[in-house]
């Protein structure tokens, strides 16, 4: 079955580089985007949680889109975070992102408000009506305070052809089974957690929106390819080898650890905006030990 929209199998939720003064480092964004494309990323997500979107202005997000789009050309697709817990704001940003040339939109479940499922249907309906771009729903109850139920996802998927996928950041694999069984066959499910990619693939997921792909994108791509070729044992071996790193890059709030590792590689700096703070030296040593052991 051909998917409604195929963003690729490894979507990297790109970190946003900052200068020492905590301004967006747009040159660093160019460098990081090129690094990702060269190391196995099929699609770059801008202004996701890993991109510290809660601390970015809309103007900064749109400038990042412009800069990254120019830097990578047609080497990878761009998925743009345009969600909000205010439906009006999400609609307005969706229209701006559409005009600015994103390939697709990531729209998060409204956070803090804790709406009913019926409210979610209304919220995402307004967003879908505001653009002709493909929309990936983002379900992450640990951050939003509510779970978008499989039936709600299916209702939206059947109602709108441009609602094409869901990033499912929920460790309950039964929900993945329900989503896939209830949604149209051409609707894609992406794991929102690196460590759950292989289990979700076994249930019918298409790929992953990854943080670890900043560091091991080619290996994650290989794991997915081996699984889909039927080489389950090889895919499991790659998963087990990467598992300590999958966990280590979340030893502090995301994206603090992955930025520390990227800084060690000399790709970008490890500056983060408050309320996040950089890792201390002991934490950094623990992280880099896991990473170097993996390599």
Task: Please identify every residue annotated as catalytic.
Answer: 138, 167
Beta-bridge partners for 33: none
For the chain, where are the alpha helices, taking DSSP H only?
26-38, 58-72, 87-100, 117-129, 141-144, 150-159, 173-182, 197-203, 213-228, 232-248, 256-265, 281-294
Q: What are phi and psi of 138, to 5 degrees?
A: -125, 110
- Cα of first residue to Cα of last residue in the chain, in angstroms, is 36
Any residues with CB less than 8 A from the CB of 84 and at least 6 apart, and which? 90, 93, 108, 110
Tokens of 12: 């990297």
**Pairing outcome for strands 163-168 and 188-191:** parallel
Three-state secondary-structure class, residue 214: helix
Tokens of 197: 């990619």
Q: What are phi and psi of 180, to 5 degrees?
A: -65, -35
Whole-angstrom distance, CA of residue 150 vs CA of residue 138: 12
Between the alpha carbon of residue 175 and those of residues 149, 189, 205, the distances in Å are 8, 11, 12
């Amino acid at each position: 079955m051909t998917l409604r929209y195929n963003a690729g199998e490894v979507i990297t939720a790109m970190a946003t580089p900052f200068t020492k003064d905590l301004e967006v480092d747009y040159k660093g964004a160019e460098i990081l985007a090129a690094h990702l494309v060269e190391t196995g990323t099929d699609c770059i997500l801008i202004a996701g949680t890993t991109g510290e979107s809660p601390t970015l202005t809309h103007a900064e997000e749109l400038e990042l889109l412009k800069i990254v789009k120019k830097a990578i050309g047609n080497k990878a697709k761009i998925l743009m975070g345009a969600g909000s817990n205010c439906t009006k704001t999400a609609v307005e940003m969706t229209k701006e992102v559409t005009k600015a040339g994103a390939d697709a939109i990531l729209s998060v479940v409204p956070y803090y408000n804790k709406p009913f499922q019926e409210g979610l249907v209304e919220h995402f309906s307004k967003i879908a009506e505001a653009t002709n771009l493909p929309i990936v729903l983002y379900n992450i109850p640990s951050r939003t305070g509510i779970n978008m139920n499989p039936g709600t996802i299916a209702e939206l998927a059947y109602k709108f052809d441009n609602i094409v996928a869901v990033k499912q950041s929920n460790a309950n694999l039964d929900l993945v089974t329900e989503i896939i069984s209830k949604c149209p066959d051409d609707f894609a499910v992406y794991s929102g957690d690196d460590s759950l990619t292989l289990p979700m693939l076994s249930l019918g997921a298409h790929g992953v929106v990854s943080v670890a792909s900043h560091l091991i994108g080619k290996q994650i791509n290989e794991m997915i390819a081996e699984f889909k070729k039927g080489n389950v044992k090889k895919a499991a071996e790659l998963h087990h080898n990467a598992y300590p790193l999958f966990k280590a890059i979340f030893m502090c709030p995301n994206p603090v650890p992955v930025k520390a590792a990227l800084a060690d590689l000399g790709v970008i700096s490890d500056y983060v905006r408050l309320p996040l703070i950089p890792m201390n030296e002991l934490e950094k040593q623990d992280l880099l030990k896991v990473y170097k052991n993996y390599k």
